[in-house]
Amino acid sequence: MYIIAGKPGIARKACGRLAAQFPGLRVVGAADGFFSEKSESGVLEEITRLKPEIVFIGRGTPLQEKWVSAHRSEIDAPVCWTVGALFDYVAGEEARVPPRMNALGLEWLWRLAMDPRGKWRRYLIGNFVFGYYLVQQKLGILPHTDPFEGSDG
């Protein structure tokens, strides 16, 4: 697998922890999600050269999805998987939500409390906009659209 994740150092730290926990795991390469250690084109060239079966992209939503959409045709790996902050957790850089809050569906509140400056727009505006459109669709004001309609899968 190949890992693209977070701030400089996160991917390397996560790789070290994964290697210690899963000795047979084969991580062929890694890069930070801001492409400050390696250029974006350098990362794409490295992925092509190393031929991983899975490329994990942890750059945050929606940046990671836009990046995969823009570069999927250049990546020969069978699987490109966007994983958000997964490697920040694996590297120990971001605290996990307490189990009780997670069970109550309050991970968003935990993440907002841990990083209000970085998350306020996503949770305080984005969630309400999503809810607004969801209610409009349920009331029949907006047509239902299938995001996978007409795609190859």
Looking at the chain, how many residues does it have?
Answer: 153
* Burial of 123 from C-beta contacts in 10 A (0-12 / 13-18 / 19+): middle
Q: How far apart are CA 9 and CA 32, in angstroms?
A: 7
Cα–Cα separations (whole angstroms), residue 42 to 65, 69, 111: 19, 18, 32
**pLDDT the model gives residue 147:** 58
Q: Using the predicted structure, report yes or no on whether residue 87 has a pLDDT greater than 80.
A: yes
Tens-digit pLDDT profile for residues 9-52: 999 999 999 999 999 999 999 999 999 999 999 999 999 999 99
Amino acid at 126: G
**pLDDT the model gives residue 152:** 53
